[in-house]
Amino acid sequence: MIIETEGILVAILVFLRTGAFFLGIPLFAGEMVPVRVRVGFGLMLALMLNQYAPADLELATHYLGLILLAMNEVCIGLMMALVIRLVFFAIQFAGHVISYEIGLMASNSVNPLLGSSDSTITSLLYYFGLLLFFVTGIHYDVLTALAGSLQAMPVGEFLMSTNPVEEFVRMTTQVFIIGTLMSAPFIAMNFLVNIAFAVLGKAVPKMNVFITSFAVRILCGLLLLVSCALLITSYIVETGRQSAGSALLLVSQ
């Protein structure tokens, strides 16, 4: 059995793309999953996709060209992973807004996946989104997009040749739009509660409006969170499926 040098180089470059991808996607991007496990998943996927990956290794005739090709594959994998993570950035943004609106911003908890301290609502929505990510099969769409990127942008083709900056900026703006849409009912609820207690404070001057409104806002916010679970789910699932297609579109323009 003869192993050609070109085949080894293609396998290494494919592994750099898949390995960088697994370092950045949700669940694998945090501190809870060891680096060896992430690298192992990237290596396993690279071995399966290697034989189907077209390659252009004209620059691999010298060390500088090989370094440029390696950096290009890492950038492709990381950028695709970042597009997938934009959905979870929107979820975290919505969680922060919801926590602020219902008065639970000070209730922080440690998120072991990210190694950070977030509000309780933010951590809850993050885990809920991660659960939907696997239950609804979005992870299959993500892996399909990664495999399709090898056809849309073969190994050796530079990322900047597709001019992905404009498309990536457009996708980034969706973080704030989706986050605001998910938290919009809670913004309206907080506004109505404040208006109601402002009028009640004028009608009953002896009432402690601040303490009473604080408790009512938390109660109404939690009830509204349960009521809006289906709405939040639809936004997460729809945006998650779109992100897989957007990640592929980013490298195929």
* Amino acid (1-letter code) at residue 217: R
What is the predicted pLDDT for the residue at 102?
A: 85
Contacts for 89-92: CB closer than 8 Å, 24+ residues apart: 89/175, 89/179, 90/174, 90/175, 90/176, 90/178, 90/179, 90/182, 90/239, 91/125, 91/126, 91/129, 91/179, 91/182, 91/236, 92/118, 92/122, 92/125, 92/126, 92/179
| The pLDDT value given to residue 246 | 80
What is the token pair recorded at 189? 């609820």
Lookup: tokens for 65: 């060209």
Q: Convert the pLDDT of each residue in 218-245 to its tens digit.
A: 888 889 888 888 888 999 898 888 888 8
**Per-residue pLDDT of the chain in tens (253 residues, 90 and over written 9):** 344 667 778 888 888 888 888 887 877 766 677 778 888 888 888 888 887 777 777 766 777 778 888 888 888 888 888 888 888 889 989 988 888 888 776 666 666 666 666 778 888 888 888 888 888 888 888 888 888 888 878 887 777 666 777 777 888 888 888 989 999 999 998 888 888 888 887 777 777 777 777 888 888 888 988 888 888 899 989 888 888 888 777 777 5
Is the pTM of the predicted complex or chain greater than 0.85? no
Instruction: Give the number of domains in the chain.
Output: 1
pLDDT given at position 29 = 67
> Which structural domain range is residue 122 located in?
5-250
Q: What is the 3-state secondary structure (H, E, C) of 186-240?
A: HHHHHHHHHHHHHHHHHHCCCCCHHHHHHHHHHHHHHHHHHHCHHHHHHHHHHHH
Mapped onto helix, strand or coil, the DSSP state of residue 117 is: strand
| CA angle, residues 157, 250, 66, in degrees to nearest 5 | 25
- The pLDDT score that the predictor gives to residue 48 is 84
